[in-house]
Amino acid sequence: MATPTVRRLQLGHELRHLRERAAETIEAAAKIVERGTSTISRLELGQTALTQRQLGDLLDFYQSKIADREDTTWLLDLAKGNEQRGRWSGYRAIYAKYFRMAVDLERDATTISQYQTEILPGLLQTEAYIRALMADSQARVVDQKIEDAIQARIERQQVITKDHAPEVGFVLSESAIRRVVGDTQTMRTQLLHTADVATLPNVQFQVLPFTASTVPRVTYDFNLFRVPSPGRAGPLEFVYLEELTDGKYLDDPDHVAAYSGLWQRLVGAALDPVESRAFLLRVAGEHR
């Protein structure tokens, strides 16, 4: 079963699709459930929920406007069990609130594409590399926070090797490979581990070398997530951008298409997977 976050996103995605097929406005939908227009907007964004009765009334309203009615009872099931209580307690509380949606998208995605500029992605980091990152942080980090970060990140990494794992693509700037985190042994172990992950059949790992000249200078990290949705509205597609104190999620089709196009240009400019793995091993060999 999908995470509660993704279930709400899927429901909102399908409800927006149904409203548009019914050629109805947000204002009309709000009147049916006796709520404000902001509730419908938040519902379609996966940020709030309705009671089962309200959701049933809304579905009946949309269906009455559509010539080729479809079975929407599964949407009522999709709305069940979306509570968040307890999911982000314990070591998972280490995740910033703005990042938690990305963790859930990552877990339920069928395709993950990640471009990183300065450090290795969390899905690839070894325990020693994580410890070194935390030690290098300007903020004072207590021991328990470090242990929580390690446990949470290692749990995230299971998405790469689980049953029915997603297709995962990494394009990393050469800076991320050469940026020294910790000591030389930490870097050597990290790069050898990354080279091992790069051999997995569902992983495509590429390095964008300093010498690449046919690509725009992309100085920011971004993730692309593609998550299947069971209805007629099509899959969920998100771009995730992270800043120092916040994260941004883009799902506008034009924004997704722009970043998807940029991703393809980065893939084309980077070393191929065989060359990229050889590059990792060469740099690892420099850390002796």
Residues 40-55 pLDDT 10s: 999 999 988 899 999 9
Question: Rounded to an integer, what distance in angstroms lies between the CA atom of residue 146 and that of residue 142?
Answer: 7
Q: State the Cα–Cα distance between residues 122 and 168, nearest whole angstrom.
A: 13
**Cβ distance 240 to 109 under 8 Å?**
no
Q: Is the pLDDT of residue 186 over 70?
A: yes
Encode pLDDT of 16-30 as tens digits: 999 999 999 999 999
Element (H, E) at 37: helix 37-44
CA-to-CA distance for 146 and 261, rounded, in angstroms?
Answer: 37
Q: Average the pLDDT over 227-250 and give the result.
A: 91
CATH topology of domain 4-78: 434 Repressor (Amino-terminal Domain) (1.10.260)
pLDDT in tens, 90-147: 888 899 999 999 999 999 999 999 999 999 999 999 999 999 998 876 555 667 888 9
Question: How far is Cα 35 from Cα 174, in angstroms, rounded to an integer?
Answer: 52
Q: Please give the model's pTM, rounded to 2 decimal places.
A: 0.88
Instruction: Kindly report the CATH number that applies to the domain delimited by 93-286.
Output: 3.30.870
Q: Which two tokens stand for residue 178?
A: 């050469």
Map out the domains of the chain as residue ranges. 4-78, 93-286
State residue 84's pLDDT score. Answer: 59
* Max Cα distance, the chain (Å): 70
Give the pLDDT band (50/70/90) at residue 217: confident
